[in-house]
């Protein structure tokens, strides 16, 4: 279990780390966010995460933004202070304490470590069940602290025995609350939404692994009625990797079991992650 986190680069016990109640990210739900998975002391795909954290912070007009070099060095300081291991590392850039209570200024940087278990092999075979909900996240290209709809829908999700909620805009399938969404088309192409979604880091690395293997991928608008015709579907996320989607709103996808294309994506991502971790050199 990680036990220390940081506020403005000061490492301290997580249960003692605090934020002023004047900070707008608390008061107005406006801040940028990212989530890294540290596995055996290695911050997986850290450069992709820090590039996105920078992009999200710029889209929100938050700053000053610490440099990616500074953030990377600090991530390693935090990993060392926690004695390495496997855990989640949440990054936040806040909106500060403007007198008008509305205009971001003098951002704080917060790094919060949280437990993150390694998924069991059973998890892949059990797969995910999704329910759908019409919702388009505001400023979807940015990863933010605005999980209002996701938290609100969590009780309904549990009641329906689902693992996540799949957002659509009435015409197009977009993404789940904490995962990116893929389906396998009739011709075997891997299809995922090409816009109006979060640029998921695991989504990106799954696409890289599929393309590197010469498999057909298509990033484009995905019509809602394509989902029922898909032979397979899966989600990708930082901690779950490639996770088969076996049913949506109670309707089975394909034969309701993880399919061969999903297994292939899973194996390719797994190999890509292992290769990335082997080649990783800390700064």
With CA atoms as reference, report the closest residue to 244 among 223, 273, 265.
Answer: 265
Q: Does 4 bind a second copy (CB under 8 A)?
A: no
What's the closest the beta carbon of residue 114 comes to a second copy, in angstroms? 6
What's the closest the beta carbon of residue 117 comes to a second copy, in angstroms? 11
User: Is the Cβ of residue 133 or residue 273 nearer to a second copy in the bound state?
Assistant: 133
- Residue count of the chain: 283
Alpha-carbon distances of 264 from 66, 168, 213, 246, rounded to whole Å: 38, 26, 10, 16
User: Is the Cβ of residue 33 or residue 124 nearer to a second copy in the bound state?
Assistant: 33
What's the closest the beta carbon of residue 10 comes to a second copy, in angstroms? 12
Q: Does 117 bind a second copy (CB under 8 A)?
A: no
* Partners of 36 in the β-ladder: 89
User: Is the Cβ of residue 47 or residue 106 nearer to a second copy in the bound state?
Assistant: 106
CB-count exposure of residue 51 (10 Å: 0-12, 13-18, 19+): middle
Q: Does 1 bind a second copy (CB under 8 A)?
A: no
Within 8 A by CB and 6+ apart from 175, the residues are 140, 166, 167, 181, 193, 197, 198, 200
Q: Does 7 bind a second copy (CB under 8 A)?
A: yes
Tokens 């498999």 belong to which residue? 215
Q: Does 237 bind a second copy (CB under 8 A)?
A: no
Instruction: Measure the CA–CA gap between 76 and 78, rounded to whole angstroms.
Output: 5
Q: Does 135 bind a second copy (CB under 8 A)?
A: yes
Query: Stretches 7-15, 184-192, 198-206, 242-250: which one binds a second copy (CB under 8 A)?
Result: 7-15
Please select the residue that binds a second copy; options are 3, 8, 22, 171, rule is CB under 8 A.
22
What's the closest the beta carbon of residue 83 comes to a second copy, in angstroms? 20
Please select the residue that binds a second copy; options are 51, 55, 81, 154, rule is CB under 8 A.
154
- SS3 letters for 138-205? CCCCCCECCCHHHHHHHHHHHHCCCCEEEEECCCEEEEECCCEEEEECCCCCEEECCCCCCCCHHHHH
Q: Does 25 bind a second copy (CB under 8 A)?
A: yes
What's the closest the beta carbon of residue 235 comes to a second copy, in angstroms? 16
Instruction: Measure the CA–CA gap between 149 and 167, rounded to whole angstroms.
Output: 10
Q: Does 101 bind a second copy (CB under 8 A)?
A: yes
How many CB atoms are closer than 10 A to CB 161? 10
How many CB atoms are closer than 10 A to CB 124? 20
What's the closest the beta carbon of residue 276 comes to a second copy, in angstroms? 25
Q: Does 10 bind a second copy (CB under 8 A)?
A: no
What's the closest the beta carbon of residue 135 comes to a second copy, in angstroms? 7
What's the closest the beta carbon of residue 238 comes to a second copy, in angstroms? 13
Which residues of this chain interact with a second copy, rule CB under 8 A?
5, 7, 14-15, 17-31, 33, 60-61, 90, 92, 95, 99, 101-104, 110, 112, 114-115, 135, 138-139, 144-152, 154-155
């Amino acid at each position: 279990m990680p036990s220390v986190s940081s506020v403005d680069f000061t490492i301290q016990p997580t249960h003692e780390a605090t934020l002023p109640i004047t900070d707008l990210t608390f008061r107005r739900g406006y801040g940028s966010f990212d989530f890294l998975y540290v596995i055996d002391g290695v911050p997986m795909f850290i450069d992709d995460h820090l590039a996105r954290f920078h992009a999200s912070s710029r889209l929100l007009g938050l700053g000053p933004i610490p440099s990616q070099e500074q953030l990377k060095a600090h991530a390693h300081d935090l990993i060392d202070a926690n004695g390495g291991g496997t855990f989640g590392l949440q990054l936040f850039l806040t909106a500060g304490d403007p007198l008008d209570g509305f205009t971001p200024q003098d951002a704080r940087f917060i790094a919060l470590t949280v437990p993150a278990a390694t998924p069991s092999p059973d998890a892949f075979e059990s797969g995910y069940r999704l329910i759908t909900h019409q919702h388009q996240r505001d400023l979807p290209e940015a990863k933010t602290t605005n999980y209002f709809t996701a938290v609100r829908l969590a009780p309904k999700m549990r009641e329906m025995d689902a693992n996540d909620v799949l957002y659509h805009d009435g015409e197009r399938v977009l993404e789940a609350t904490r995962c990116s969404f893929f389906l396998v088309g009739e011709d075997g192409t891997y299809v995922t939404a090409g816009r109006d979604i979060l640029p998921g880091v695991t989504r990106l690395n799954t696409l890289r692994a599929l393309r590197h293997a010469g498999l057909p991928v298509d990033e484009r608008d995905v019509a809602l009625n394509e989902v029922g015709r898909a032979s397979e579907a899966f989600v990708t996320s930082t901690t779950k990797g490639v996770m088969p989607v076996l049913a949506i709103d109670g309707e089975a996808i394909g034969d309701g079991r993880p399919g061969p294309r999903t297994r292939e994506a899973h194996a390719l991502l797994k190999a890509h992650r292992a290769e990335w971790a082997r080649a990783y050199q800390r700064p």
